[in-house]
Structure 1
Amino acid sequence: MGFGVAMACAVGALVAGVGVVAMALPGRPEPWPVHLMRRAAATAAWAAAAVYSLGFFAVLASESAFNDGANSVPAPACRDGFDAATIEGLSHHRSSYLPLRFDCVRDDGSHYSSDSGYGWMNGASASLALSAALLAIGAGYATELRTRKAAVTS
């Protein structure tokens, strides 16, 4: 399910990206800068959704593997791939969907991340979402500016 959502978002980002590239071809709609900013905003929004959904379902899978049958406590995400010294004294975990994280907590209060990929997923999805918002605001501003210029010249 999680991979399917991420793939759907990725396909949406590719389709929107093709729309951005199409602006370089002859016969593009006018005013083309506004269309370009709108299409770029859609591409960034779809890409942000794709990256975030990858991380969301990774946290969800780690959370669901916890306390789900034999050998599931502490969470397998906190044990698998780590040496014995790292997991020594493991007491519980903390998970979050915003920002994405799945932290493993030891008895002494120290913690470590179960996956280092959450950092880049948080950064990428936040920067892509911010870019999408700025591009959408810019497209609205460009439309407003064009309308005001047309009203002054009329």
Structure 2
Amino acid sequence: MDKSEVHIYTDGSSRGNPGPGGYGIVMEWVGKPYRKEFSEGFKKTTNNRMELLAVIEALKKLKKPNIFAKVFSDSKYVVDAVEKGWVFGWEKKNFKDKKNPDLWIEFLKQYRKHYVSFQWVKGHNNHPQNERCDFLAVEASKKPVLKTDIGFEG
């Protein structure tokens, strides 16, 4: 089995909640000099949607199945939902009365392709990759042309 391991750093942002938003991703392969950055901005969204979308988009970038991925996020919403198992209970109830079911369903699809663990990091605490993700997310939200967050705006 391929023991490839990647560290994924993510952050989401919205200026206003809801408001223009974006996400930032930094991916680093463990033991290799490989590092990539990704970001995208949206016209109207929420902070939590961007935090979760960042993780989804990062996992989608993994080309092979069964990669060991450690996700570093400053979002308690995302980290706790997975690490404390809440999302699996929500899934059993078809996400009834939960926000962002479209993203949680997509997250679980991507999550189950790999070995994913989460580590919460304190935001705005001079963590270099987290700071970079925050910068990417905010800058993406300021682009002159922004995508529509279909799940939020319909």
Sort the TM-score into its range (normalised by shorter chain): under 0.3
TM-score (norm: length of structure 1): 0.21
| Greater Rg by CA | 1
User: Normalized per residue, which structure has more strand?
Assistant: 2
TM-score (norm: length of structure 2): 0.21
- Higher RCO (C-alpha 8 Å, min separation 6): 2
User: Normalized per residue, which structure has more helix?
Assistant: 1
